[in-house]
Structure 1
């Protein structure tokens, strides 16, 4: 086996380890602090996730101040990981993400990934289509993209030695009110992140033949 093959095998194994080691953790060390620099790097890597028309509708509200975590605690039904974790990341979906289409496709032109005339056409088509979507369809898109980036964020966190838990159990209306979230943003989920003091519970998965169908459902 060549050196390049060895490196590829090690990288693949490392990635598989990250997938296998990620668990939902609910008990965290409150003394662990994640710096703004490291949190920004985690989120930057997470944003490499795919999204509809590359509009990247995800927005993150990182809640790491103690008093704000205490404010969030009753909204999240008193789940202790809210105050024990280093931070809680609220993943939000921007239903007006099409307003950044010019910036997004302009960056693609600057990077040499797309001719300027193609970008202009994409911008016009994208803005026209997304700005006229029914509200429910726009929300569905950002929920899908929000799920994609949430999973990527949790895997990136695990690769850097941190633990996470995705949280859908919170009062969305009270969260929106307490943190001043405008109608432009749809809360997708909360993700607690930090260092576990107790491993996440091991779980089982259905046999693959129970969930996979080839070519037709049976």
Structure 2
């Protein structure tokens, strides 16, 4: 499936076929594609917790207000971000470029995020994680799978279940699998004139 078709056909699916399987090579291919998602300064601050353990998924479902998709979809990915990724050996983000380029970019990372402060550091995690989530969902659709982004859960309970490090933040969960039912009809798109502006509001 081409990209435009994946964008137009992707819908948030709530009910999944529990008998459907996803080969491990598809799982790994999806994750490999997610790792190509862009991040500021190439800091790759997203983190993906793929929850496979059935008991843990049952507990995750409870934390997600008993939404069945958490157990029924083939994949459950808790997308998180390392708020301080920018400060953790940042030279590794540019290890494959010429030294003169690395010597310019690496100090810029620290200077920017140190001065920008905690709010910008957290915002960066949210931006990066959201882009990665969309990459996962579009890639899944292109590969013949369905998906749903989820914010309907208790973040502290989920953090406890996945043993989230203190300097990390949860962005959202994404479930991926084969739909057992079609998604509901689109609720109603706003007219383009309501959301697109030229030059100024």
Fold-level match, TM-score > 0.5? yes
Alignment match, 1:112: none
Kindly indicate whether the alpha-carbon contact (under 8 Å) linking 1:56 and 1:97 is maintained by their aligned counterparts in 2. yes
Secondary structure of 2:47's aligned partner: strand
CA distance in 2, matches of 1:147, 1:23: 16
Segment drifting more, 98-107 vs 159-168: 98-107
> How far did residue 17 of structure 1 move?
1.2
Equivalent residue of 2:95, what SS? helix
Structure-2 residue corresponding to 1:8:
none
Counterpart residue number, 2:101: 118
* Other structure's SS at 2:78 match: strand
Say whether the 8 Å CA contact 1:96–1:131 is kept in structure 2. Answer: no
Q: TM-score, normalised by structure 1?
A: 0.86
CA RMSD of aligned residues (A): 1.5
User: Measured at CA, do residues 68 and 35 of structure 1 come closer, stay the same or move farther in structure 2, by a change above 3 Å?
Assistant: farther
CA-CA distance at 1:70 after TM superposition: 0.5
Corresponding residue SS for 2:59: helix
Query: 1:133 Cα shift?
Result: 4.1
For residues 124-163 of structure 1, the aligned pairs below 5 Å read 124-131=107-114, 133-163=116-146
Matched, 1:208 2:192: yes
Shift of 1:131: 4.3
SS at match of 2:172: strand
Deviations along 1:27-58, one digit per CA (max 9) or x if unpaired, are 00112232333212112112222211111111
Aligned residues: 199
Which whole-Å deviations, capped at 9, do the CAs of 1:156-185 have from their partners, x for residues lacking one? 010001110000010001111122111121
Match 2:90 to one of 75, 83, 101: 101
Unaligned runs of 5+ in 1: 1-10, 110-114
Match of 1:73 among 61, 85, 106: 61
Instruction: Give the Cα separation in 1 of the matches to 2:94 and 2:3.
Output: 31
CA distance, structure 2, for counterparts of residue 191 and residue 78 of structure 1: 15
Which of structures 1 and 2 has the bigger CA Rg?
Answer: 1
TM-score, normalising length: structure 2: 0.93
> Following the alignment from structure 2 to structure 1, what is the Cα–Cα distance between the partners of residues 48 and 167?
13
Structure 2, unaligned runs of 5 or more = none
